[in-house]
Each structure stands twice: as structure tokens, then as C-alpha cells.
Amino acid sequence: MIERGACLPPGGAPIEEIQACAEKGDSEAQAVLIGMYSQGGNGVKPNQQLAAKYTKILAEKGCAQAQAHLGKLYSQGMGVPPSIKESKIWLERSSSNGSAVGKCLLSMIYLNGQDGNPPDHFKAFELIKEASELGDPLCSVQLGVMYFNGQGTRRDLEESKRIIELAVQKGYPFAVETKEMLFP
């Protein structure tokens, strides 16, 4: 969780003020910079290295969202050298701090054996289920797919359909696509 910093004025500030606040350790300013450097806008050009720098600062403070994001950056090599080892470290921290996104991304490493170890479908299933229970829609659909395929659990078409249908009812487009593909 990112707490409201005392440094930034309500309603926004020029980039120079935001950077000064971020350098003083203001978590809110650091989060603002992550967004600005990731996407660009408001006169700021995208800069993945600076986005990763501020993401790492927040991640080191224990912010589960930033830890998950940093794990994703390492897995994709965005603003940092690509490293599944570093990705897994940050995703494990994020997962331990209760991040559904961290659990979901970490599960993909286990599911696909991206860390150089054989795939661990049981660990992937456990993480996907936890993330789904925390409300992550993508993980809910992935959980349904794992039940459909019997990955890390017994094959259960009824449970698969039930879980995917719940995601469809919540209006997630990828859930609709998955349902149409698995249950035509």
C-alpha cells in the first residue's frame, strides 16, 4: 500500500517537485513517477529505466504492488536486465505480502518451469487459487483452465465451467473468450 506523502501538494505538481519529493523518500511521489515514466505524458517522455528505479525503491520499502511490478519488469527485461531469478525473488516477496498479482505472476514461473526447474503444476495451482480467492480476474480464468486441464489438481469440468462463468458474469472479456474456447 502506498501512503499519502506529505511532500506533494493535492492536485498535482510539476515534474521537478515530484522528483524532489521522490528523492526525499516520499512513496506517493515515487509511485507518481513510476506511472509517468512508464507511460509518458504531461511533458514527460517514457523512460523504463527510471520507472524501474522508482519501482525498486518502493519494492524495497515492502510495497507488495511494487514488488509484483518489479518482478514483472525483470521477467520482461523492461528497464532492468531480464532475469527470471530476480523476477522470482520479487514475486515471492510480493506473494508473501498478499499480492494477488504477485501470486498470479509467480504461478506462471512454476507452471512453465521458467526458473530452470521442471514445471511444478501443484505449486502453480496453489498460487493461482490463492490469487483467484483474492479477486484477481485473470487468475480466476487461469484457475478454471487448470481445472479443465487437470494441471496441479484433478480434472473437474464442472468446477472449471463454474469459475469461468463467474468471471464472465463480472464482464471480463478474456473470460468470455476462454469460455467460448473451452465450452463451445
In order, the DSSP letters of 1-40 are: -PPPPSSSPTT---HHHHHHHHHTT-HHHHHHHHHHHHH-
The pLDDT of residue 164 is 95
Q: Which band of pLDDT confidence, cut at 50, 70 and 90, is reported for residue 2? A: very low
AA letter at 27: S
Cβ pair 143, 175 in contact under 8 A: no
Q: Is the per-residue pLDDT at 25 higher than 70? A: yes
**Domains of the chain, each with CATH number or no CATH:** 15-99 (1.25.40.10)
> For residue 149, which of 176, 170, 173, 128 has the smallest C-alpha distance?
128
Q: What percent of the chain is predicted at pLDDT more than 90?
A: 70
AA letter at 8: L
CA distances from 52 to 16, 24, 71, 74, 119 (A): 18, 17, 10, 9, 28
> For residue 55, which of 76, 75, 72 has the smallest C-alpha distance?
72
According to the per-residue pLDDT averaged within each range, which of 4-8, 54-58, 134-138 is highest? Answer: 54-58
Q: Which band of pLDDT confidence, cut at 50, 70 and 90, is reported for residue 32? A: confident
Coil, strand or helix at 172 = coil
What does the pLDDT average to over 160-170? Answer: 93
What does the pLDDT average to over 70-86? Answer: 96
The number of helices, as runs of H, and strands, as runs of E, in the chain is: 10, 0
Q: In whole angstroms, what is the distance from residue 61 CA to residue 26 CA?
A: 11
